[in-house]
Amino acid sequence: MPSSSVGIAGVDAEEAGDPARAAELYRQACGIDDAAACALLGSKYTREGQGVEPDANRALEYFRRGCELGNAVSCDAMRQVEAHLASADEAADEATDGAIAAAEAAVEDVAEAEVDPSEPVPVTVEDMRRGCDGGEAIDCLTLGHMYRDGNGVSRDHNQAVALYRTACDISKSNDQFGSYACHFAAAAYESGDGVPQDMARALVLYQKSCDAGNDDSCEQARVVQLATGNQ
């Protein structure tokens, strides 16, 4: 499982059936040294229908980065892809097909893989609470996910939404993590999940997220506007 909020958002996008969005979020998370996100992105380049075009060389790039960050699954997949791409006796397309098949097998269960001892220690609730109290939107967002999923704390959707609101409120106009938090809070108010349904508040939060560059929020703001007649 990714350790960063943006990586977790990628998993959420995956579960929501948006593999292209998930790929972009994994790419961002890998860029901030989320090893599991690098592995998940590498795995996307090993098969069709994952929001990106299959590409063994790109898969290798992200597996290598995940391995450098200590992800054991990435290291195993990287070695298999390298072996196939280096094979001088096979036709180039056969080598690529072999690399893709090998990498796909290596990362089939990457999200559930056991943690390698060399990986960074997972974030704790206390770490995130300190960061959130210190004004870090990303930590408030991560803590919100923890309460939403019951990860290290008792599941509490109301508390999750409160933390999303905090992250949204303290974020700067171009803060991508704050924009995600605004979106999650808006979705809760739209559906009434953890808080009383409030379409007007949902629209305000979607619009703030949209203004920060979240295209999904822009689209959802239009949906809410149409549903409420507020155009």
User: Of 84, 112, 140, which marks where a domain is finished?
Assistant: 112
Note the pLDDT of residue 131.
Answer: 84
**CA neighbor of 144 nearest in space, from 126, 158, 127, 123:** 158
Note the pLDDT of residue 200.
Answer: 94
Q: Is residue 119 part of a domain?
A: no
Note the pLDDT of residue 176.
Answer: 67
Average pLDDT for runs of 10 along the chain of length 231: 82 88 89 86 84 86 82 75 60 49 51 41 72 84 84 89 92 72 91 91 92 86 86 57
The Cα-based distances of 81 to 54, 69, 126 in angstroms read 13, 18, 39
**CA neighbor of 25 nearest in space, from 43, 36, 11:** 11
Note the pLDDT of residue 141.
Answer: 81
Show the domain range for 170: 125-228
Measured between alpha carbons, how far is 217 from 66 in angstroms, rounded to an integer?
30
Note the pLDDT of residue 135.
Answer: 87
Residues 76 and 157 in one domain: no
Note the pLDDT of residue 136.
Answer: 81
**Cβ-contact 124, 152 below 8 angstroms:** yes
Measured between alpha carbons, how far is 9 from 231 in angstroms, rounded to an integer?
29
Q: How many domains is the chain built from?
A: 2
Domain with 22 in it: what CATH number?
Answer: 1.25.40.10
Residues 31 and 61 in one domain: yes
